[in-house]
Structure 1
Amino acid sequence: MGSVKLKHYVVRKGKHAYWMPTPTMKLLGFRIISCGHDGPEAWAIAREWEERYQRTRKGLDAPLIKAYPKNSVGDAFERFRRTKEWETKPSRTREDWDRGWKYIEHVFGDVAPETITMEMMDLWYHRMIAKKGVGEAGRTMKTWRALYTVMTAMKLCTPKQDPSRAIQKQSVPGRTEIWTQSEVIRFVKGAWRAGFKGLACIIAIAWDTSFSPVDCRTLTPSHAVSVGADWGFVIQRHKTGETAFGIISRPTRQLVQTYVSGLDFELHDDAPIFRTRGAAPGPKGGRRHSPVPYQKSSLIDDVADIRRAVLGKEEKCRLMDMRRTGAVEAVSGGGTVESMAAKMGNSIDQNKTLQKTYMPVNLASVRAADESRKIGRKNIASEQNEIKKLKLVKKTS
């Protein structure tokens, strides 16, 4: 298949195509458009959106931004989007707001917030559950409640009178999956052998440190430290801002050293260390895709591909589940809440102030959590007693 050059057309991971508007284009209401897999159909979609933008830019079409009534919910959201507070939000957070807004806008966009009743919210929320599911409805409700706080600050509605607070938000059942050490070893080796060397390092680090996926994929040389004979990373967690220290094992250290020494460019202190595999043109041509720092979507896709190839289609564990696995192992090995809080970089007790006061991040606590994981891992592996259904039968005389 050949290739074409289209403005604002981007292909990720060698196959997923997007039409990507610039910040200036977004001010006119244009958003990222998923075009599907790279090919003629994706080119046609991107070309169509590019033409719409050019017509809007030249004044032939009206901007996509809708004009809402003054002091309506939609007007408040557009005002909020023009603030510095919105600009400073992480891009993923803004995407979550936009994702929720598309379900809020068509019902409440033209409505004054003070006129929205509990009955209206109840009908909207439960209809959304029926159409989109509990997860999407819950995400949207979270966006609404955050927006209500903004509208309160704008003096468009009464503080602490959000009608949605009378509705019990339903939750998706929490995940319970955990990894075994043997699965992780196979996972790392499978990624490395398939050419996903950056991914192999991310998996190994996630297992050793219990860092979240985003904290692993955004590691830079400036995060790397040594303490005695140990190597590790000191980070500010993306989600909480808490300081976390992660020690990596000797095999992971060797893996990272091999990966870095094989890079054909010099890493700057603040550049993400781990990159995608990249892709060369196939036998039918196409674009060359150089390795780039992992993003959320590319990491999810690559993890899923390697997991299926190594562990089979039935395996459902995700990279995020390694964080839970570390906690389960540490608790099984007698680890304390204090040591786990220090290792995971969060406040696992409800009283966060006391946790910060009495559980500072320190190397001794991290080592204690790591030792507890080793003990717990052995305890879990040696536990052979399984719960089986007991069949009660009537005795015959």
Structure 2
Amino acid sequence: MGSIKIPYYRVKRGNGFWEPTREMREAGLEPLACGPDGPDAWSKAQAQNARWKAIKSKVRAATPTQLAPRGSLDEAFRRYRATPEWSAKAERTREDWDRAWKHIGPIFGPIAPSAVTLELISRFRLRVERDVSIREAHRCIKIWRALWRVAAAMGYCQRDADSSLGIRNHEPKRRQELWTHAEARRLAKAAWRSGYHGLAAIIAVAWDSSLSPVDVRALTPGQRTAPDVFSVSRAKTGRAAAATLSRPARRVLDAYLARLGAEIAPTAPIFRNRSGAPYSKDTLGDDFRDIREMAFGAGERRTLADFRRSGAVEALRGGAGAEQIGAKLANDFATSTNLQKTYAPVDLETVRKVDEARKRARFRGE
């Protein structure tokens, strides 16, 4: 079979993968397994490139400027970004706002918020969903509503007059994927045996700590307050978390550190890729996909981020309470139905335990 050169398309073990850049992912495009290398796979990759071209032509990176029209949403957002309130937001939250503004700014930035009608905002959401993804459309309306409240506080509009409240902001389908402890161990072993020692340590630490990938990447020696504990502040919320490790995870981490051959500065990232550079979002994702394929085949789609949900479900199965899980995750799991839907999807094993409990109650005549 002849070869063909397609941007962002590469072949691994006879299968084609379309792998978008960070900029593309921030615009809502996800990596795609195209199947066995050949015309069908090439067609899928070319279709993704066409989507990216359409997005670039319609959505320019729009940042509030000093020349924003008076009374416009541009002006409101520019002023807000200059406040301490903006600076106090977690980095991940600011990234979400900027990502949504790339869609919102070109359309609504130059006009007053009060000029945006229900018809306009409805068509805007539909276009983002069609051209990018439902996830990106949901993010845009979520940020729009938050920005409206900010603009109202600064006198640009009336707080209760947000036209977007007249539309339903459909959520993307929540991820339900789960890993087991045995599968996490299999991934870590595959990574270590393949020379991805930093990744093996990340996998071990992420599984035990229930930290998100971005929080694990940011761990430093100075945060290791005990052999089995990292004291951290979560990147997304800024909340304090105690990231605890089991004895096997400590062994993997310490073996990785011993192989480095040099002491890492207290404030420097611990985990390095095979080049010796600290893991970035993209290099971690690339390496994890390589190891995932080695361990489970090209059809596997679960991610490192699914570890966090898997740990919550494992804890529920073991009898941990919602408040205890919230303390482990460093969030409001016990009181937030949204977080419970995210981290505790319907679990058949847990449901069956409830069924058994009901049977025991009937047997006792209660």
Q: TM-score, normalised by structure 2?
A: 0.69
1:231 aligns to 2:231 (yes or no): no
Does residue 306 of the first structure (1) align with residue 305 of the second (2)?
no
The gaps in structure 2 that reach 5 residues or longer are 1-18, 24-62, 338-346, 354-366
**Partner deviation per Cα, 1:10-62 (whole Å, 9 max, x = no partner):** xxxxx99999xxxxxxxxxxxxxxxxxxxxxxxxxxxxxxxxxxxxxxxxxxx
The alpha carbon displacement at 1:64 in A equals: 11
Name whichever of 63-72 and 191-200 sits farther off. 63-72
* Higher deviation after alignment, 86-95 or 318-327: 86-95
**2:30 — aligned with what?**
none
Report 1:1-16 matches (<5 A): none
2:170 counterpart of 1:170: yes
* Structure 2 CA distance for partners of 1:139 and 1:224, relative to 1, 3 Å: same
Structure exhibiting the larger radius of gyration computed from Cα positions: 1
Give runs of aligned pairs for residues 264-283 of structure 1, distance below 5 A: 264-278=261-275
CA separation of 1:161 and 1:234: change in aligned 2, threshold 3 A: same
Shift in CA distance, 98/345, structure 1 to aligned 2, threshold 3 Å: closer
CA distance in 2, matches of 1:235, 1:92: 15
Q: Deviations over 1:123-170 (max 9, x none)?
A: 222232222221111111122122212212321111232211221101
The percent identity for this pair of structures is 41
| Residue in structure 1 matched with residue 96 of structure 2 by the alignment | 96
1:87 CA displacement: 4.5
Residue in 2 that maps onto 1:349: 334
* Counterpart check, 1:155 vs 2:140: no
Shift of 1:351: 7.1
Counterpart in the other structure of 1:117: 117
How many residues of Structure 1 are paired with residues of Structure 2 in the alignment? 285
Residue 340 in structure 1 maps to residue 337 in structure 2: no
Give runs of aligned pairs for residues 1-397 of structure 1, distance below 5 A.
67-226=67-226, 231-278=228-275, 291-350=276-335
User: Are residues 113 and 18 of structure 1, via their aligned partners in 2, closer, same or farther at CA, if it must alter by over 3 Å?
Assistant: closer
RMSD between superposed Cα atoms in Å: 3.1
| Alpha-carbon distance in structure 2 between the residues aligned to 1:89 and 1:336 | 30
C-alpha displacement of 1:300: 1.9
| 1:42 corresponding residue in structure 2 | none
How far 1:233 moved relative to its partner?
1.9
What's the CA shift string for 1:177-225, capped at 9, x where partnerless? 1112222122111212222211111110111121221221111122223
Residue type at the aligned position of 1:346 = N
Larger fraction in helix: 2
Number of the residue aligned with 1:288: none
Change (3 A) 1:167 1:67: same
The one-letter code of the counterpart of 1:323 is R
| CA distance in structure 1 between the aligned counterparts of 2:266 and 2:322, rounded to whole angstroms | 33
Secondary structure class of the residue paired with 2:241:
strand
Deviations 1:92-136 (A, max 9, x none): 434332321222123212211122222221222223222222111
Further displaced range: 153-162 or 315-324: 153-162
User: Residue type of the partner of 2:160?
Assistant: K
Is the Cα–Cα contact under 8 Å of residues 230 and 243 in structure 2 kept in the other structure? Answer: yes
SS of 2:263's equivalent in the other structure is coil
Where 2:231 maps in the other structure, the secondary structure is strand
* 1:205 partner amino acid: V
Deviations 1:318-341 (A, max 9, x none): 111111111212212222223222
Cα contact 2:135–2:171 (8 A) shared by 1: yes
Q: CA deviation at 1:274?
A: 0.9
Secondary structure (helix, strand or coil) at the match of 1:171 reads coil
- Alpha-carbon distance change, 16 to 123 in structure 1, aligned in 2, over 3 angstroms: closer
Contact 2:118 2:166 in 1 (8 A): yes
Report how far residue 231 of structure 1 moved.
1.7
CA positional deviation for 1:69 = 2.0
Give the superposition deviation at 1:307: 1.0
On the 8 A contact 2:91/2:235 being kept in 1, the answer is no
Of stretches 194-203 and 293-302 in structure 1, the one that deviates more from structure 2 is 293-302
> In the superposition, relative to structure 1, how do residues 261 and 310 fare at CA in structure 2: closer, same or farther (>3 Å)?
same
Letter matched to residue 164 of structure 1 = S
SS of match in other structure, 1:175: coil
Give secondary structure in 2 for the equivalent of 1:143: helix
Q: Distance in 1 between matches of 2:320 and 2:82?
A: 48
Q: Which runs of 5+ in 1 are unaligned?
A: 1-14, 20-62, 279-290, 353-375, 384-397
* SS of 2:228 mapped into structure 1: strand
Q: Please give the secondary structure, in 2, of the residue aligned with 1:160.
A: helix
Match of 1:44 in 2: none
Q: Distance in 1 between matches of 2:135 and 2:106?
A: 19
**TM-score, length-normalised on structure 1?**
0.64
Kept in 1, the 8 Å contact 2:64–2:75? The answer is: no
